[in-house]
Structures are given as structure tokens and as C-alpha cells.
Chains A and B, each alone.
Chain A
Amino acid sequence: MIGAGYLLITALVWTIIIGLAWGLSKYLKKVYENEKTFLDKILDPVENIIYRILGIDRNKDMGWKEYFLSLFTFTVFTAAISFVILTYQGMLPLNPMKFPGMSWSLAFNTVTSFSSNTNLQHYGGGSTLSYLGQMVGIQFLQFTSAASGVVVAVAIFRGFAGRRDDSRNLGNFYTDMVRTMTRVLLPLTLILAVLLIVLGVPQSLGGYSLVKTLSGSFELIKVGPISSLVSIMQLGTNGGGYFGANSAYPFANPSPLTNYIELGGMMLLPTAMPFLFGRMLRMKKEGRTLLIASYGLYAIDLAIALIPVTTLGAGMETRLGGFSTALYTVTTTAFTTGSVNTSLAAMHPLVIMAALMGMMIQATPGGIGVGAMYMLMYVLITVFIVGLMAGRTPEYLGAKITANDVKLAVIAFLAHPVVILVPTALAYALGAVHAIGLGTGPVGFTQILYEYTSAAANNGSDFLGTTGNTVFFNVSTGIVMWAGRFIPIFIMLAMAGRMLDKKRSTEVALRTDNLIFPAILIISILILAVLTFFPFLAVGPILMHLEGIKNAL
């Protein structure tokens, strides 16, 4: 009875989000193909002012290298701006709580984290950051990193769509970025932020207030620009909360309703991406393939997580209950958002395993923009492996997959385990794990593995929290986050550049627009992920689970 209710709620959330994403993708296509929209009248003049300030050629169509270079340079500058704000927030305005600046290593970790859409937090936001730090240090990067994901996806989609009649390229980074901001993220976050305020999420710049409680003690009420941050944190699959407790903190997530709205918020744009892919390619069924595959994997993830009974346990919030908490935890990793509404240490090992799987695959459906990018990488690898069995050189979207494409896809695939496993081993070898008091058992190992997996997958959920605020973990995770972000983006943009000019044949042996291919894709991704990470899952969460069973017996 209750199980059916859980399924019903999940189905309802999926239906609503997929429906909204489908509608949103129509609008997104107009935005990125410069078609008329109802917002033109208001936004065209605003954008013109911005373009004038930038002093760039807005009509210039960029190749993949220039697109990447612009994105990368831009990200470096955004991180630098944030770095300055965070380290000097003590001397800057909007600091009614008089918080001091961050240490260099913590600021480094924080800006690499937020600029890479990871939002791993080695600080407790509510007790570390000034309003200016939250707004310009954090929220600003949440916008730009989310927009980066979207523009990367759009540029890649353009490449995969191929050159049509015109001699177009991957697009113009500046206009893509500006339009993403003005026409997509800002309007959506504005709507969500106001909705969340109505439902009880505070939004104020009036400073924390100290109140005398009923029992006569004093309590700090930490109000601030929370709603505006939570809305971009969810919509942009960022996940870095205003508070250390993130979406478990009642101000960030006051009720079951806000919990589901925030859940839907992080699902919306990643779900819209496959639809946008289909629309931009003029092949809607190809978009459907990506959507089915990513939601299929998401469903498998959920099934694993929901094997344990989902009742309210310690380390959870009463108002959210066990099921919503597990659903949220799996979803936040499946969409590599990383906001959490629970204490991960309280979650069942199988939930942790499902979460790890989501982050290892990164396309379930993955983070904003980049999730679709990873899915395309898996599609290429899968098509290549199984496509030969149809008796033809494998093709995707009619374009032959050649040695160089395989090389790129394999490097992109290889990058992930490298940036996870190498630092994990290093952290043990250099004694950094021991230094923060984690033992050598499966629990400690799971926490470290989770830390680097979360960093590499640009997820941001973590076990360590403020205990991770050591120079080793700040710097190493910082490097992992940027490597995990920019290596795959670089490679997949290069791939898009190659796809742009590939000949497209009309006859293909292995169709990717039917319902069989997504099933194959899911199995292929599972096998690839299992092959790569299974021994580590076995040592960590599976072992925790098995030991738990043994203890219970």
C-alpha cells in the first residue's frame, strides 16, 4: 500500500518533470537557434547593452578550439573574482556577521568547486560566509558553471547535428552564455526563488538575528539570501548549499512540498537536454534514446537504493521521512547535483552504492549539460562495440565512427577512473586520510572514494564536509574537480568539431532511434561502469552492506 504510494509519487514527479522539460526544450531550441520568443522585446535591448560592454563580435561562429578556450578563460576569471571575494570578504561590505576571509587553500577549493559545477564544500556556509560571499562568491559561480554546462551541451549538439545548408560552426560562446543567462537561468531561477519564498524559504539581507528561546537560551536565526541561492543551486545542478547541512536545513528546505519542488528543480534542465538534442538535430527520436537510457539508469539506481526499507532513521529530517530522503539522495547523485537533505553517514550502504554508481556513470541523466555530453560519449563507445555486429562500420547519426573518434571517446572514458582512483590511492599513501582521523576499514575507504568520485563527477555531495578542510584535500579535490570537468569537455567539444564535418549516410545498419538501442546502451554502460569500478564498490559500500547483514544476524 505504502510501496504503491511511493511509486505513485515517483511516477508523478517523473511525469511532471518530463512534461515540463519537453515543453522547456521547445523554448530552449528557439533560444539557441535565434528564433523569435516572447521575451525578445524586453531582453534584446538588455543583451545589446551587454554585448556593447563586452566589445566582441557577436556574429562570429567559433570552432571547437576557440569555443573551449573562451569557456576556459572565462571560467578562470569567474573563479578569480570569487577567490578575491572569498579571501577578502572580511573587509568587504554585506558582512553583518563580520565573518573573516577564507584561507587560501579553502578558497581555492571553494572556487574550483563552484566554478566546475561541483559544489563540494569544505566549509559550513552558514557560519563562514558573508552575504557578499554567498552572493558573489557562491551564487555567481553557480550561475556561470550551470550556464557553462548548458552552452557546452548546446555547442556539442550543434556539432553532432552537422553542418546544414549554411557553413555554420559550433556557435558563439559569448552570445550562448549571455542568452543562457538572460533567457534561461535568470527567468527560471527568479520564478523558483519567488515560489520558494512563498513556501517559507527566507530571502533577506538584514543579517542574522539572535532570539531568546522558550527555554530561555539564545539562538541565532541565520536568515539571508537563501531562496535566491537555493533556486540556482537546484536548477543549475550545483548543489552547494547556503548551510553546511544543505537541503536538510529547514530554512533551505522547509517542507515536504519544497523538498519535491527542489527535487524537480534539479531534474528539470538535465531532463530537457535530451529533448533539446532531438530538436536541434531535427531527429526527436534520437533525443528520446538519450532520455530513455538516462532515466533507465536512474531507475536502476533508485531500485538499488530502495531495496533497504525506507523508514525515517537517525540522521534524517522528520518532515522529509525515509523515502523522500533516499529518493533525493539518489536523484542528487544521478543528476550530479550534490545538494543533500540528509546526513550521508546515516544512509544505508546500498543507497551510498547507488549514489556512487550515479556519479561513476555521470549520465543518469547527469549534471546540467554535461550529463547529455557523457551520454553521447557512452553512445559512441557502445555503437562502436556492438555496431560492428550489424555488419557495417559503426555509425552514429549516419556518421562513421573512425579510429580518432574512438580514441577521443576512450580518453574521455579513461579520464574518470584516473582522476578518481589515483588521488584516492595517493590520499592513503601520503597519510592524508590518517591525518583526518579516518580508519582503514570500509567506512573510511568509502568516504574517501566518495569524496574523489563526487569531485571528479562534479557532484559535490560528500561525507567529509568541514573535516576535509586540510591543505591536502582542499588542493587535491580542487585539481580533481577541474580535471573532471574540463578534460571531458575538451574532448567532447573536439568530438563535436569532428562530427560537424562528417559525411552522413542515410542508410545505417544499427539504428539508434528505436527502443532497442537504449536498452543496449543501458546494459553497455552498466557493464563498462561495473568493469571499471566494481572492485572498489565491492571493497566499500557492498562490504559495508554485507557486514551490516552479518551484524544483524
Chain B
Amino acid sequence: MPFNEKQISGRTAGQENLEEPISWLYVAKDSLLRMSPMRLIKNPVMFVVELSFLVVLLMTIVPGAFPHLAHQNDRVFYAYVTAILFVTVWFSTISDSFAEARSRATAANLKKLEKEGVARRIHENGSEGRTIETVKSSDLRKGDVILIEKGDQVPIDAEVSEGIAMLDESLLTGESVGVRKSKGDTVIGGSTVVSDSIVAIVNVNPDETYISKLVKMVESSERPKTPNEVALSILLLGLTGVFTIILFALIALSLLLNLGADLSVLIALYVCLLPTTIGALLPAIGISGITRMSKNSIIAKSGKAIETAGDADTILLDKTGTITVGNRLAHEFIPLGGHSERELAEAAFLSSWNDDTPEGRSIVELAFAKRFVPREYDALREGVHEEFSAVTRRSGITLVDSDDFTLPKGGREFYQRHRFRKKFELQTPLTEDTTIHKGAPDAIKDSAEACPDNYDDVVTRITSEGGTPIAVSMNGTVLGIIYFKDVIKHGIKERILGLRKMGIRPVMITGDHPLTARSIAGEVGIDEFVAQAKPETKYQKVKDEQAENRIVAMIGDGTNDAPALAAADVGLAMASGTFAAKDAANMVDLESNPSKIIDVVMLGKQLLMTRGAVTTFSITNDVAKYFAIVPVMFASIPALGALNILGLAPQTAVLSALIFNAIVIPALIPIALRGTRFKPQSTLRIFLKNLFLYGVGGVLLPFAAIKLIAVFLVFTGGII
């Protein structure tokens, strides 16, 4: 399973269509502006190439200014060299401009989410009650209280203070599932309220919203360099220094020993030796990292965080949402004490109808799938609910006679409820009150009048298998047990295997019983887990791992996760999480998909690999360029021609090597922006593959390419 962008995003290609087209006019204009020496000096490698260009340009115009080093007859050749050097620098600025344009396109796409809208601001007027005024969303300030009604777009990030509503976040997440938001939840600017209405408190100023931050980040060209970029820049500066010394030493030697070298040839050798490929592409690679993160709806607060993600040794994975699909789902009805499966299932159905938790819904779904739909459902309206409480650890319903029926709020997709209604619009009145309880097996056991003999055995079996047993009783009689099971996310096992192959330790964090945790962990191939975890356990785990000098990546969403997120080297917060969590994290996932932490790590690795690969390629390329230019470098030493293994005429050799040097830059732009492809496998194998491709390939490819270019040059008859 190759690791590529599609997989990172986990989205369909349709999403890409939203992207603004890249403005080539902008790229052309911006790239030329970037050639200004004042701007280029930040990239020393390209800056010295530009200086070289100016020198050769001067040689073309006034060769007489370079006694012994330039010749009147070679002005055409100098003109060619001048042109190629210009194009070399231009290619490098084009790659910058292109990366930035792409980044802007992503930003523009995200900006759509932040269209100027209107908001309804609520004023508390003491005794006179509330008044509502309509304001521009950009006028809202932190602390304002706003009303958002059905059909409204949420104007700005805010925390719900009253009411419950369904929101459509598809514009942000690409998934068209309604999300229920109630008091304390954060609603994100750009999402739409599809049912009900809420009152919310604005918790950011307009320019501080996550989208604004994201847009600002991807738009900013003044991005601070990441640690590895700084280190790489120093290496490139050092190499530039070495080659500059060599250039001057060669010029001096040629003059002192009358070796008859042409300055343009020495400069060509110099430029070919300079690590121009990586020098030109380094900024683009950096920008692409952020762009690719934001394409995946992740705001990285710094490029450093992405890079650190690539270094992660340990990933703390929340079981729920990452390894398993949301919550546990009903898997099996186990009737006990001579009751039938239908009795149990129907009672469970009734007791769960108003239970809007995923668990509750899964009971209804399972019963429906098994066609166990009770006739008493129309009595639900009059049912007396007993809410789940931590004391009784059960919930219940008492059904009385009724003739009306309404759907519970929220819950399943609309069409499914519709089918319910159509198929089962029969009415069978109940003759007597019926009380159904469901809950923890021991709680039900305590309240039941009689308990079947194998009750405890079934409970133990389910627990040991990693499941959760929920008992159901009707009017004090135990009907049976519902087997709740974790549902492993599709493909997660393979991804965890991928992590392990790459030497990253996945650690599962769960609030479950150790037995349950072991079973799930075993199923997906995780050795280490923390069971019965409390929020502070996560923090402790982060600290423990760091004490072993490991780099820890984790996700979190609750306020209690904030310390752990802050302590972790890479903290990814869910957009749906609390503000404290998002503030403490160094990345925020707008899709609130916990398994994306794996993608973040992979992306970080890809970014590092790309830098390494282009650097290696850039350096190994030099070998072939040497063999092209050195043999023809000194006019007075024809014996050096024996080294001319490519068999090139002097000026053809120089031009071919220079042309190769230039076109390799745009040729590698796709790799720079997209990243080198890799499969999750052992780091050694990944390394060796890259080494073979970019190291060995970097030595061999230019020999062939330079020869081909030379043949082409001769064929077109332009020179020599």
C-alpha cells in the first residue's frame, strides 16, 4: 500500500476540485521578482549562481575586461552560458513561487469557509431581557454571545452555552454526517446548523479563528526555518564555501601556471559543483510540508512540529476513534433463563429507543437487522424514562398505554427512521405498565428478583473476550445479556504494522479494563497499552517515554488532555475538542479524526526523506559533471582529454553539464512538492531504496543525461 497524498487525506478526489487553479501569471511575475539579489541573498547557493551569471554576462559584453581568462572569439559561447545560468536561477525562483502559489490556492480554498457573513449578537439588558442585533461577523469579538438558528452558518468559532443542535461540518471535514453539539462543545466557523438553534459564546477574535490561522500560515512566505532546514542550509553554505575556494584557487593556478583556462568554463564547473538542486528546492520542500498538512485539514502551528512528527518514537493512540470505530456496538443478544432472543431483543429495543448514544443506537440497529421490532414501540411517547446514573449504573423505561408516536431527537440518518415509520405503523396498545431496565450486569443482578444460573458465566466470558456485557431485565426478570463489542477500524491493523515496521512504538490508551484492552491491542498488533487510563495517566505516559529519550506523538481533545498535549513532542488536538486542548497542542485537526496522528507522522517522515533524497541526489550528481568539465578545463593540457570518458567536445561538454544542472531543478519540483513516495517498511529498507534511487541514480543518471543533451546539441547544430 504505497503511502501517498490520497491516503493521507482519506478523502475522495472530488475534494481537490475545490482548489483554486494556480495562477501562472503570478508565478511568472513573482519568480522574476524573487531574482532580485536583495531577496536571493537569503539563499546563498542561488545567490552565487546569480553572481556567476553577472560575471559571465560581463564576459559576453566586454571580454577584454578579463585578460587571459576570456576570449573575443568565444562570445557566442559566453552568451549561451549566461543564458543557462540565468535560467538556472530562474528555475529556482519558479519553484519557490510555484510552491507558494499552490500554498495560496489551498489557502484560498480554505478562505471560502470564512466568507463574510452576518451574525446575531445577543445583548443582555438586565430586567428588560435580551435584544438581538444583526452584525457583520468580522465585528464579533471574543466573549460576544450569539444566536445561531437552523439554516445559519456559524459565523465564528464559539462555545455552545445553551441548547442542542445538529451541525453540518462537511464544508470543513468533507464528511456529510451531522454532528450534535450541546453545551460546552465548540462550534467551528463555517459549519451550518441543520436543526434546532443554539446560543454560543464567541471564544476567539475574527483574526484568531483556526481557519484564519491556517490561512495565515499557508500564506506566509516568512516561514521560520525548521531545525533540519537550518542544518541543511549550513551544510550547503559550507559546500558553497569549499567550491568558492576551489574556484579561486583554480583561477589563480590557471593564471600562474599559464594553463589557459577560460573563466566561463571554471565558473561552469563551479556552478555545476554547487548543490544547486537542493539549494533551489529547499524552500519549496518546506512550504509543501505545510501545504500538504493544510490540505489534510490539519493546522500545524509550526513547520518544526511537522518535522518533529517524523522523528516520533512512540505514538500514543486513543483506542476509541483511532483503533476502534467510535464506541462499542451491540454485537449479539444472549437470552438467558429460558427467554427467547426475540423477547430480549424487543425489550432491548424499547429500552434503547430514547438512548441517543451510539451504544443505544447500535442496539436498535441490531434488533432491527434481526427483525426483532416490538409492537409496543408506539407506547414510547408515554414512557417514563429512568436516566442512566452512576449510582444505579442502569437506565430504564416504564411503558404505559398510548396512541401516539414520535421519533427521538437526533440519532440515525433520517431515511432509516422513515423506513421504520412506514413498515411498523401498527398500533397495539399495552395492557399494563412494563418496566425495562438495562445496565451493568451486577447492577441488574442486584435489582432483579431472580437471576439465571449461567448469568455470571456469560458475563465473565464476554469480559474475558474483550467485550462489554449489558444486562436487560423486564419487570424484575432477567431476560438476557447484550454482547457489546469494539469494532476495529478498517485498515487500522495494516497501518499499525506499518508504524512498527518503521520502528515507531504504538501505545494504546484506553479507559477499558485491562482484559478488554489486551484483547483489542492483540487484535491490531499492539504490544503495549495503558488500560483504565485517566487523563493524568496520559500525561504520565508522555513523561515516562520522554524520560527514556523517546519522542512522543499523541492526540487529545479534552481539557484534561491539555497538559499531556503540551508535554508531548507532537500534540494533535481535535477541532471538536476544548479550547485548552487546542491551545496546548502544536497541531489541530479540523476533521477531528484521531487516527490522523499516524498520517502526521508519515508526512513528517516524508518531508525529511525528501530533503535527504534531493540533497544526496544533488551531491552525487557532481561526479558526472566533473567528468564532463574537468577534462576540457585547461586548454593547455590536452592530455587531460584521456579523462573525457563521455567523449565530448569542450564547449559542448560545458553547456551540456550546465543545461543538465539547470533542468534538473524543474524536473524535481514534483518530488519536492509531493514528497518521495514510500511504503511503510523498515527504516533500513526505506533508506536503502532511497539511497539506491537518489544516491546511485544520482551518480549514473547525469552521465546518460549529459551525453544525451550533448548529442542533441550537436544534432541541432547549434554549437561546435
Question: Across the interface, do B246 and A532 meet the contact criterion of CB distance under 8 Å?
Answer: yes
Which of B232, B237, B640, B686 makes the CB contact (< 8 A) with A538? B640
Interface residues of A in 388-414 (CB under 8 A from B): 388-393, 398, 400-403, 405-407, 410-411, 413-414
| Residues of chain A with a CB closer than 8 A to B579's CB | none
Answer yes or no: B82 CB below 8 A from chain A CBs: no
Does B690 sit at the interface, judged by CB under 8 A? yes
A504 within 8 Å of B by Cβ?
yes
In angstroms, Cα B256 to Cα A503, docked, is 51
A534 within 8 A of B: yes
Q: Which of A60-68, A106-114, A424-432, A466-474 contacts B (4 or more CB under 8 A)?
A: A424-432
Other-chain residue from A402, A509, A538 in contact with B630 (beta carbon distance below 8 A): A538
Q: Is the beta-carbon distance between B688 and A516 smaller than 8 angstroms?
A: yes
In the docked arrangement, what's the CA distance between A503 and B550, Å? 9
Which range contains the number of A residues in contact with the other chain?
Answer: 35 or more
- Cβ of B687 to closest chain A Cβ, rounded Å: 4
Q: Which of B97-105, B607-615, B663-671 contacts A (4 or more CB under 8 A)?
A: B607-615
Chain B nearest Cβ from A398, distance in angstroms: 7
Select which of B228, B248, B256, B605 is within 8 A of A428 by beta carbon.
B256
* Shortest Cβ distance from A381 into B: residue: B235
- CB within 8 A of B246: which of A391, A417, A509? A417
Nearest-CB distance from A435 to chain B (Å)? Answer: 14
Tell me if B241 counts as interface (CB < 8 A to partner A).
yes
| Those of B640-660 within 8 Å (CB) of chain A | 640, 642-643
Q: What mask results when residues 478 to 491 of chain B are scored 1 for a CB within 8 Å of chain A, else 0?
A: 00000000000000
Whether A421 pairs with B612 at a CB distance below 8 angstroms is no
B377 at the interface (CB under 8 A from A): no
A445 interface residue (CB < 8 Å to B): yes
**Stretch from A352-360, A483-491, A539-547 at the B interface:** A539-547
B252 on interface, CB distance cutoff 8 Å: yes
0/1 per residue, A365-398, Cβ < 8 Å to B? 0000000000000000100111111111100001
* Interface of chain B residues 217 through 267 with chain A (CB within 8 A): 227-228, 230-232, 234-235, 237-239, 241-243, 245-246, 248-250, 252-253, 256-259
Say yes or no: B550 contacts A391, CB within 8 Å.
no
Considering the complex, which residues of chain A in the window 461-510 have a beta carbon less than 8 Å from any beta carbon of chain B? Answer: 503-507, 509-510
Partner of A417, one of B242, B252, B633, B634: B242
Please state if B549 and A503 are interface contacts (CB–CB under 8 Å): yes
Within the assembled complex, what's the spacing in Å between the Cα atoms of A413 and B242?
9
Complex: A304 Cα to B311 Cα, angstroms: 42
Q: Is the CB–CB distance between A424 and B249 below 8 Å?
A: yes
Q: Which residues of B contact A530 (CB under 8 A)?
A: 623, 626
Which of A387, A510, A520, A531 has its CB near the most chain B CB atoms (within 10 A)?
A531
Q: How far is the CA of A422 from the CA of B245 in the complex (A)?
A: 8
* Interface residue? A190 (CB, 8 A): no
Partner of B313, one of A387, A406, A505: A505
- In the bound complex, what is the Cα–Cα distance between A538 and B269 (angstroms)? 14
Known: A389-B612, A414-B241. A527 touches B620 (CB 8 A): yes
Which residues of B have CB within 8 Å of A520? 691
| Contact yes or no, B503 A509, CB < 8 A | yes
Q: A393-B310, A538-B640, A546-B639 are in contact. Are A388 and B246 (CB under 8 A)?
A: no
List B577-623 residues whose CB lies under 8 Å from chain A.
Answer: 605-606, 608-609, 611-613, 615-616, 619-620, 622-623
- A205 close to B (CB within 8 Å): no
Set of chain A residues within 8 Å of B634, measured between Cβ atoms: 539
User: CB < 8 Å: which of A388, A445, A514 contacts B253?
Assistant: A445
Which B-chain residue is minimally distant from A400 (CB atoms)? B311
Asked, given contacts A505-B549, A527-B620, whether A402 binds B257 with beta carbons under 8 Å apart, the answer is no
Chain B interface, DSSP helix/strand/loop, else mixed: helix
> B669-698 interface mask toward A, CB cutoff 8 Å, 1 = contact, 0 = none?
000000000100001101110110011000
Interface residues of B in 532-578 (CB under 8 A from A): 548-551
**B678 — which chain A residues lie within 8 A by C-beta?**
391
B-side interface size class: 35 or more
Which residues of the other chain, B, contact A527 by a CB distance below 8 angstroms? 619-620, 622-623
Residue numbers in B under 8 Å from A398 (CB-CB): 549
Specify which chain B residues have a CB less than 8 angstroms from the CB of A164 in the assembled complex. Answer: none
Chain B residues numbered 441-467 whose CB sits less than 8 Å from any CB in chain A: none
Smallest CB–CB gap between A179 and chain B, Å?
A: 33
Decide: B613 and A532 in contact? CB cutoff 8 A: no
Interface residue? A549 (CB, 8 A)? yes
User: By CB atoms of chain B within 10 A, which of A407, A445, A509, A514 has the most?
Assistant: A509
User: A262 to B273, alpha carbons, bound, how many Å?
Assistant: 41
Chain A CB within 8 A of B325 CB:
no
> Which of the residues B259, B502, B613 comes within 8 Å of A389, measured between beta carbons?
B613
Assess whether B168 is interfacial by the CB under 8 Å rule.
no
**A535 in contact (CB, < 8 A):** yes
- Residue-wise interface mask of A (440-474) relative to B, using a CB-CB cutoff of 8 A (1 in contact, 0 not): 11100100000000000000000000000000000
B307 located at the interface, meaning its Cβ lies under 8 Å from any Cβ of chain A in the complex: yes
Contact across chains for A387 and B612 when beta carbons are under 8 A apart: yes
Q: Is the CB of B227 within 8 A of A388?
A: no
Quick check: A386 and B691 within 8 Å, CB to CB?
yes
B383 to chain A, nearest CB (A): 57
CB of B714 within 8 Å of the partner chain: no
The reply to whether the CB of B637 lies closer than 8 angstroms to some CB of chain A is yes
A401 to B245, CA, bound (A): 26
Is A212 in the interface zone, CB < 8 Å from B?
no
Expressed in whole angstroms, the Cα–Cα distance for A387 and B615 within the complex equals 11
Contact status of A505 and B231, CB under 8 A, knowing A389-B613, A389-B616: no
A41 within 8 A of B: no
Query: Hey, which chain B residues are within 8 Å of A36, CB to CB?
Result: none
Which residues of the partner chain A approach B550 to less than 8 Å between Cβ atoms? 505-507
- Are A406's CB and B235's CB within 8 A? yes
Q: Which residues of B contact A511 (CB under 8 A)?
A: 684
C-alpha gap A543/B242 in the complex (Å): 23
- A549–B639 Cα distance when bound, in Å, is 9
What residue of chain B has the Cβ atom nearest to residue A445's Cβ? B257
Q: Which residues of A contact B683 (CB under 8 A)?
A: 390-392, 509-510
Most buried by B among A384, A422, A429: A384
Given contacts A403-B234, A531-B622, contact A390 B253 (CB under 8 A): no
Q: Is the CB of B643 within 8 A of A428?
A: no
* Residue in B252, B551, B688 whose CB lies within 8 Å of A505: B551
Any B CB within 8 A of the CB of A550 = yes
Interchain CA distance A384-B230 in the complex, whole Å: 12
Write the nearest CB–CB distance from B199 to chain A, whole angstroms: 48
- Judge whether B622 and A539 touch: CB under 8 Å: no
Measured between beta carbons, the chain B residues less than 8 angstroms from A403 are 227, 230-231, 234
Q: Are B235 and A539 in contact (CB under 8 A)?
A: no
Tell me, in angstroms, the Cα distance from A410 to B231 when the chains sit together.
10
**Cβ A504 vs Cβ B608 within 8 A:** no
Tell me if B234 and A410 are in contact (CB < 8 A): yes
Judged by a CB distance under 8 angstroms, whether A536 is at the interface is yes
Chain B residues near A418 (CB, 8 Å)? 245
Can you list 14 A-B contacts (CB < 8 A)? A386-B695, A391-B502, A410-B235, A413-B238, A417-B242, A421-B246, A428-B252, A440-B258, A442-B637, A505-B313, A507-B504, A507-B505, A532-B242, A542-B643
Across the A-B interface, the 4 shortest Cβ-Cβ residue pairs? A388-B612, A410-B238, A391-B605, A389-B612
Binding site for A on B (CB under 8 A): 227-228, 230-232, 234-235, 237-239, 241-243, 245-246, 248-250, 252-253, 256-259, 269, 273, 307, 310-311, 313, 502-505, 548-551, 605-606, 608-609, 611-613, 615-616, 619-620, 622-623, 626, 630, 633-634, 637, 639-640, 642-643, 678, 683-684, 686-688, 690-691, 694-695
Q: Other than A391-B605, A509-B683, give 15 A-B pairs with Cβ distance below 8 A.
A: A388-B228, A388-B608, A389-B612, A389-B613, A389-B691, A389-B694, A390-B690, A391-B502, A413-B238, A414-B242, A421-B246, A504-B549, A527-B620, A539-B253, A539-B637
A residues neighboring B (CB under 8 Å): 381, 384-393, 398, 400-403, 405-407, 410-411, 413-414, 417-418, 421-422, 424-425, 428-429, 440-442, 445, 503-507, 509-511, 514, 516, 520, 523, 527, 530-532, 534-536, 538-539, 542-543, 546-547, 549-550
